[in-house]
Structure 1
Amino acid sequence: MRIVIAPDKFAGTLTAVEAAEAVAEGWRSADPAAECTLLPLSDGGPGFVDVLHTALGGTLVDAEVAGPLGEPVAARFLLVERTAYVESAQACGLHLLPPQRRDPGAASTRGVGELISRAVDSGAETVVVGLGGSATNDGGAGMLAALGAGPAETLGGGGAALAGLDAVDLAAARAGVRGVRLVAATDVDNPLLGEHGASAVFGPQKGADPARVHALDAALTRFAELTDPAGTLRDTPGAGAAGGLGYGLLLLGGTVESGVALVLEAVGLDDLVASADVVVTGEGSFDSQSLRGKLPHGVARAAARHGVPCLVLAGRVAVDEAEAAAAGVTAAHSLVESAGSVQAALERSGPELRALSARVASGWKR
């Protein structure tokens, strides 16, 4: 029995590597002869650089950059020949701040710009920026400030500060990346503004109450009026990713590409799945968003192309069997149901995932 184990992270509890290892340990405990290929994955958020380094090799370049509230944080990017892979969450990730310090109005993407600058200085001709897991809502303004845009103090002051802008000068930032291909890797299709935009959809996850969400959207609207007066970029799918960091990259001439597709191609998932007997994927919450192109959906589609069963092991499952089957998922199993409670699933994620994997393996037809 050949098993490909290709999960995303279980946000807040397990990295993709830890999840893959837990699934493999559980499966082997029930089926010692199973040949398990571990393939931890990322859709552009946390783990993006590590996943690609495992798949592509290359050189990891360490850097100290500004964190979301300005304190220095350790980060790194991956350089593979003339392509650099940057994980925005390493510089502006929500996980870098304790809950009591999370404020999307004050958090900045400045550190992401510093990483991009370092990558360009290292000779990168293409810079792929993985978007996801950010603490920010500044439309990429901090990133632009780090690359030379002005007024630097206001642009780098967080999303709320954008409401006070009178003008924005992007000339120096654009000159700094001239000739460099910029790619925003994300599977979020939200625009920058409005009810489906960065502030409304992701602001509450980062600590914004309804009044703060309204103020942040108004500030981003002001930023967009000054930087995109024709309105051609703000509605681009993905512009609202990572608190609008996608929009900032679009202002520099960047493009938006599927983070899932990019990663799955890099790791050679299609070839691995073609020779497997079953594929196991998973994430923290398998829900309606998962079926809109997130990582488990991409894995399931690859399995379906080759007629290989695909199982999902997730923290929680919020889609019915028909929806899952239509997406190419053979069966989906919930860690919460298996563990008996949300608290148990969160506190004992690793052991509970191992136990769930063992039970699924025991019942799987071989």
Structure 2
Amino acid sequence: MKNQWIEFILGYVTVKVSGKGLERFLNVLTRNGLYIWNVKRHGTETITFKMRLKDAKNIRLFARNSECKISFLRRSGSPFLVKRLLKNSGFLAGAGIFLFIILFLSNMIWGIDIKGAKPATEYKIRKELDKMGVKIGKLQFLTENVDGIQKRLTDSISDLTWVGVELKGTTFHLQVVEKNEPKKPETYSPQNLIAKKKAIIVKYYIEEGQKVFTDHEYVEKGQLLVSGNIGQEEGTPKLVAARGKIFGETWYKSHVELPLKTNFRVYNGNEKRKYNINIWGLDIPVWGFGKPKFKEYETEVITHKIHFLKWELPISFETKTLREREELTRTYTNQEAEGIALDMARKEIKTHLDEDSTIIDEKILHKALQNGKVILDIHFRIIENIAIGQPISKETNE
């Protein structure tokens, strides 16, 4: 047979023929267009073969004029399989409903476990999870994925430094790290305070140690500012951890280039959603057919794995969001570009400074317009803490 699948779909029967003139009978069948295969001889007067279901209805017409006796041994193919399934439809429906219920319950949220959070913070987390639809009894693939839940919790709850979200079976496990945890008391070893860069001292606050600089003194990098050796000239010196803040005026230079014309892409709010079921890497569309009307777009895919009890199936439910984007051109005047470039320089400088540092003056040293860009060289005067610790060893003291 060239294609047994076609015969299986249409249905076929196994026929037993007994009597005399078997070969002649087979020739009559084939001459009249009846297709037979798998012909087998069983003794001298018996053969079996397979034939199509539609032809089996006509075989008895040809047997009447022969000396052969016909009987049907077996019926095969999809028509008979469907009959058997319909006969046992109650059992199959019950089994299908049972499996569907198990699959349905295996993909619901039955627990939310939060560790590492104080009661007040845990209450905020659960309230935010409710807003997102992450609650007991909700289907997992109707909620955001783990990464989305983690990002929204971190963005919306200021008390969190970090939150880890993991889905195990039907339970979400959240590991929380809160902000403003009690700091361990710092222990200090004997040390001096030295200048971490050259500066002019403006103000200071010394908690412990011996000051060795004068007011408004210009100091070099590495110069001793506060000594941890507070012993008397006569007697045994005492080593302490010099502590305090020495604020000095420091100087920075910044180089900034800003194009007057910039092309960038933005989302305009138009989007199209598609829902697929992925089985072994094959996408089967469920909703949202066809291509979007917009040409330029980006695709975000959220995948929800399907579980059966504790096992993860090779099936997933995917939500694809296609967001339209547009290319815009932003143009600055020379004056606008200069102001924005100056603001960029301030922000860049502040990334290198402590929180208690202050910009007291800024001056543009050089300004140019080249190749469609505004180019600025800026000089900043900063007030910042220039003191850093330098350990004192016994050998150094001796």
State if a TM-score over 0.5 links the two structures: no
Q: Whose radius of gyration is greater, 1 or 2?
A: 2
TM-score, normalised with respect to structure 2: 0.17
Bigger helix fraction: 1
Question: Whose relative contact order is higher, 1 or 2, with alpha carbons under 8 Å and at least 6 apart?
Answer: 1
Greater fraction strand:
2
